[in-house]
Amino acid sequence: MVQTDAVDVCHSEDWHMRTIFPRRRAPAADRDVGIPAARRDPSRPHRILILGGGFAGVLTAQEIEKRTRRRDDVEIWLVNRENFMLFTPLLPEVCSGALEARHCVTALRAMLRKRSSWALTASVKTIDLERQLVTVLGGDGHEHRLAFDTLVVALGGETSTFNIPGIHEYAAGMKTLADAFALRNRVIEMLERADLEADPAERQSQLTFVVGGAGFSGVETAGEIEAFIARLRRRYYPAIGADEIRTYLVELKDRVLPEMPPEMGDYAARTLARRGFEVLLNTPIKEVRADAVVLGDERREIGTRTVIWTGGVRPLPLVAESGLDCDRAGRAITQPTMQTSNPAVFAIGDCALIPNPDDPEGKPHAPTAQNAVREARRLAQNILARIDGRPMQPFRYDPLGTLASIGHHTGVGVVFGVRVRGLIAWFMWRGYYWSRVPGFKGKVRVAIDWMLGALFGSDPVQLKVEYDEVGLGPSGVRRPRRRFIDPRS
């Protein structure tokens, strides 16, 4: 029986480089990180190293666990930058206060059940395909090298700015939990400032909100933000008039929700326009400044202090740097089985280009959460088939449909070919994503949040934590408080 009760930390020739191996009954010499996987002791379990703790990575690990309950010849190592999985479809509701932040995340260690499964909190630095090693940077500030027999690249993506000046410096994103917190604080801060502002131009700038990108993320964020502002303004900021709030939805393409049929996008655009949004199509964002955004070739300037960027996602550069065959966007090119140009490496999710064998035009599967759930199941089957010497099967799946929320209990979607909109679409959207929340406890917490939000509404509380001013931060280093200087001296 493989023993995995503890972890040995073996120092390599570099003092700052450590190699982590599970403690098991194996000769000490076999723990040398330089030994290729093919020459390791066969008594070692087959190590499946999964990079990324999103839908694709976590569900792949869970499916492998389910299929290897009675086996001790396979172990799973899951590496993620955070120690939790973020349920990204509900992120706009965290920003609007409809959902408690902790209730849209699940600890990775709670999602892996087998004793031979490990969850590591670290950032991936390099991938060495030749030596079958991955170098990660842990929270201790040291680099660790992890050997693997099978590698799953599920690193997801990062926000793509398309080299627009000022996006990184002045725009808010909607990709991470920190983004949702920052945007919520930003919206409340603008209302607080506007409530005291005497300068009409500055007040208007504070009450102007621009959302860049009219895909799923952009439309859902726009709908939630507008509903959030409306609720707060009516109850807590009566001095701010409804006509003072200005909201813009800016899209480079010629319609809203290009992933859906045109009539669904038109319905979403009309609904948002009735609520006060100015929907600007075929309009690129040229520049973002601290107090304005520049739009279109005519360089129209809109004064604003809040720009929300949801315009696109690109794979992490690390995927292309690893040496795998990639497309121009940097996604790993895979076979229909999700195997890459390296037989020991599979790719899944946003960072993978997975061909659809049933598509006559050869289009790949869309990088959506719905596809990632199904891809993970097939990938787990294929990895075990490769380990056991059985043939692998291509991934085939026809999406059930698409749904989007646009706030105020309104949604749009296509389900089993049927177009739905309004309240029923919103219920279906919430119902589907509620069913995908991990665990019974998670589902209960989300349901309670929704019920309390419907009963009591939102509140204008800003949750600010600045670790450079308060005691012990997450790094474990206690920082000194700032010295007070008497301005009269």
pLDDT number for residue 471: 46
Give the model's confidence band at 395: pLDDT under 50 very low, under 70 low, under 90 confident, else very high: very high
Tell me: pLDDT of 241 over 90. Answer: yes
pLDDT number for residue 35: 38
pTM of the model: 0.84
Tell me: pLDDT of 1 over 90. Answer: no
Assign residue 58 a region: left if phi > 0, alpha if psi is -120 to 50, beta otherwise?
alpha
Average pLDDT of the chain, as a whole number: 86
Which of 17-31, 89-103, 180-194, 248-262 is the least confident region?
17-31
pLDDT number for residue 139: 85
Contact 233, 457 (CB under 8 A): no
Of all residues in the chain, the percent with pLDDT exceeding 70 is 86
Give the list of residues 6+ apart from residue 31 with CB closer than 8 angstroms, or none. Answer: 8, 10, 19, 21
pLDDT number for residue 97: 83
Q: In what order do the strands lie in the sheet with 150-153?
A: 7-11, 17-22, 143-147, 133-138, 117-128, 74-80, 46-51, 150-153, 345-347
Long-range own/partner contacts, residues 315-318 (CB < 8 A, 24 or more apart): 315/155, 315/157, 315/158, 315/350, 315/351, 316/155, 316/156, 316/157, 316/158, 316/351, 318/124, 318/125, 318/126, 318/127, 318/155
Residues 67-78 have pLDDT tens digits of 999 999 999 999
Q: What is the chain's length?
A: 489
Contact 395, 354 (CB under 8 A): yes
Tell me: pLDDT of 466 over 60. Answer: no
Give the model's confidence band at 489: pLDDT under 50 very low, under 70 low, under 90 confident, else very high: very low
**DSSP states along 53-73:** -SHHHHHHHHHHHHHTTT--S
Tell me: pLDDT of 41 over 90. Answer: no
Residues 179-204 have pLDDT tens digits of 898 899 999 999 999 999 999 999 99
Bridge partner list, 77: 49, 118
Highest mean pLDDT out of 11-20, 420-429, 457-466 = 420-429
Residues 275-323 have pLDDT tens digits of 999 999 999 999 999 999 999 988 999 999 999 999 878 899 999 999 9
Residues 357-381 have pLDDT tens digits of 988 887 898 888 888 889 999 999 9
pLDDT number for residue 413: 94
Q: State the Cα–Cα distance between residues 95 and 189, nearest whole angstrom.
A: 13
